[in-house]
């Protein structure tokens, strides 16, 4: 299991410096750690806790609240199928059942090769493309059984790697502007 790499530890410190209170950087640091390993490892949660001045249990408690953060390993591609009303009417439950059959795993499980994890999503806000699917938080839809199978094949082959990064990567653009929190105003700093 991995703690934050030296490069990510440096990036984490820079992220913390953007906030007046270190604790405010908790979620951005969780995203950073998840982009490193695809999920929040216990060691990474310990690093985050030390950086923001909370316990590892508080990091886990916060991370477990958010659907976009995973505290257990997931596949390289996390496929979320929306089953809210518009998608349901468009065949989402049939698509979800097909996804389970096609991939050979149930909702919440990961394929044995570690390639895919299937999730059921309450609403992905893609009602105009119902049934809507997200793969690593990138939208696809509307999908039916055939287009779902084709999407999985394209993901597996790496054809969509430029469009769909590995799970955990929300943004490929690193912040290059902004103000650092004023020294002395940060929580825990001595004046």
Q: 150-188: per-residue pLDDT in tens? A: 999 999 999 999 898 877 776 545 555 555 555 544 445
Whether the per-residue pLDDT at 119 is higher than 60: the answer is: yes
The matching CATH number, chosen from 3.90.226.10, 3.40.30.10, 3.30.420.10, 3.30.70.1450, for 77-157 is 3.40.30.10
Domain segments of the chain: what residues? 1-73+167-191, 77-157
Size of the chain, expressed as the number of residues it contains = 191
3-class DSSP assignment, residue 64: helix
Contact 181, 20 (CB under 8 A): yes
Say what the pTM is: 0.80
3-class DSSP assignment, residue 166: coil
Q: 19-39: per-residue pLDDT in tens? A: 999 999 999 999 999 989 889
3-class DSSP assignment, residue 78: strand
The CATH code of domain 1-73+167-191 reads: 1.10.10.1590
pLDDT of residue 186: 46
């Amino acid at each position: 299991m991995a703690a934050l790499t030296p490069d990510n530890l440096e990036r984490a410190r820079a992220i913390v410096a953007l906030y007046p209170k270190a604790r405010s950087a908790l979620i951005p640091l969780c995203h950073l750690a998840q982009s490193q390993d695809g999920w929040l490892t216990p060691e990474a949660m310990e690093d985050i806790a030390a950086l923001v001045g909370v316990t590892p249990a508080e990091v886990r408690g916060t991370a477990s609240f958010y659907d976009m953060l995973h505290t257990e390993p997931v596949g390289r591609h996390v496929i979320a199928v929306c089953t809210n009303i518009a998608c349901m009417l468009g065949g989402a439950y049939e698509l979800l059942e097909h996804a389970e059959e096609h991939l050979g795993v149930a909702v919440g499980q990961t394929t044995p090769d570690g390639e895919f994890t299937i999730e059921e999503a309450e609403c992905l806000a893609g009602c105009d493309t119902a049934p809507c699917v997200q793969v690593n938080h990138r939208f696809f839809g509307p999908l039916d059984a055939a287009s779902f199978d084709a999407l999985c094949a394209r993901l597996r082959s790496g054809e969509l790697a430029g469009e769909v990064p590995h799970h955990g990567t929300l943004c490929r653009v690193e912040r290059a502007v902004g103000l650092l929190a004023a020294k002395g105003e940060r929580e825990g700093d001595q004046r």
